[in-house]
Structure 1
Amino acid sequence: MANDKTSAHGKPATPSEQKTLELNEEAIRKAGTIDLDEGAVTPGYGPYREAIVKLLNQALATELVCVLRYRRHYFTAEGLASPAIAAEFLEHANEELAHADKIAERIVQLGGSPNFNPATLLEHSHADYDECTDLKGMLRANLVAERIAVESYRQMVELIGDKDPTTRRLLEGVLAEEEEHADEISDWLQR
């Protein structure tokens, strides 16, 4: 096994083979002192910031549509199993709202403007609103929406990669919760 001082063959590494983990102090100082009105956003964010804000606004719209769908289902669920399922809908609605808040906060941190415009939510959302009246239809609509969210977040995480580690970690956390939601709804559908 090679280290910083030896090559893969156990021989002394040439200077070009030696790897160092050193920060670029000049770039750090420069990033800290230019464009102070940008807040936490340093030049290292590069040309992707606007595209990331656009992705986050789509995620925000999706979360808000999901909040509305879950809350409608919470209030309109009827049937023998409805109290337990309705409680699950309310819990998911609250968690989706927490996701929306985190996403909106990140948009602002990146210097963007979170889009809460009700007139455009469905246009920007990946998931649909639903007006089912039966429990099974509600569960199915919510499972479809959760699976759409899972795939959307998975793709966003992949696209963002190392371009914005803070946003990537945020989205990975939301993705894990969306997967949990999908599992819970799937369990209800199989009962």
Structure 2
Amino acid sequence: MVLNEAALGAARRSLDQGAVNPSYGPWREDIIQLLNDSLATELVCVLRYKRHHFTAEGLASSAIAAEFLVHATAESGHADRLAQRIVQLGGEPDFSPDSLTKRSHAAYDDSKELKEMIKANLVAERVAIEAYSQMIAMIGDKDSTTRRLLEDILSDEQEHAEELKDWLVV
């Protein structure tokens, strides 16, 4: 097996492109768009979890509200990692509040009942799991770094969904 010498030569030039090499081909822009939509999803999730953290009331509310804050922090970390990857790919992370809910895969929620808050968050986590699973399949071997990032985030989202499912019986 022989490496593509033309691609290696191109990697020696174009130093201003940082990590972006010719092997990204035509998919780079599509991947940046997927990542920006995921960024919007994570930011909406942060806002939803924060609202639920501050407004949860009821029998088990203090423990669950504390976990809502833990989840908000995790989602914020996901957003940071997605934004960083977008920049590494030569894109610009879209933090525009005007379009967040339009680009997000998950919905914002202003439920007042604790059980409804848990349900809304579980739905959002399940949507995120499906969206990340589809993105991982679409990216395949086109961008292994982004795929690994999404797989890592997917693992967290699956853990969140399991916790929320268990809380529904509380």
The TM-score with structure 2 as length reference comes to 0.97
Q: What residue is the counterpart of 1:110 in the other structure? A: 89
Instruction: Please report the RMSD computed on the Cα atoms of aligned residues, expressed in angstroms.
Output: 1.0
Instruction: Work out whether residues 7 and 22 of structure 2, in 8 Å CA contact, stay in contact via their aligned partners in 1.
Output: no
Q: Which structure 2 residues correspond to residues 82-161 of structure 1 after superposition, within 5 A?
A: 82-161=61-140
Question: Which structure exhibits the higher relative contact order, with contacts defined as CA atoms closer than 8 Å and separated by 6 or more residues?
Answer: 2
Q: Does 1:38 align with 2:17?
A: yes
Corresponding pairs, count: 170
CA-CA distance at 1:189 after TM superposition: 0.3
Whole-angstrom distance in 1 between the partners of 2:65 and 2:55? 8
- Structure 2 residue ranges without an equivalent (≥5): none
Aligned equivalent of 1:81, options 60, 77, 82: 60
Identity of aligned residues (%): 62
Distance verdict in 2 for CA 1:100–1:23, change over 3 Å: farther
Q: Does 1:60 align with 2:21?
A: no
CA shift at 1:77, angstroms?
Answer: 0.4
C-alpha distance in 2, partners of 1:59/1:28?
Answer: 30
Residue of structure 2 equivalent to 1:14 = none
Where structure 1 has 5 or more consecutive residues not aligned to the other structure, the ranges are 1-21
Higher helix share: 2
1:37, CA displacement in angstroms? 1.4
Counterpart of 2:88, as a letter, is Q
Deviant stretches of 4+, over 4 Å? none
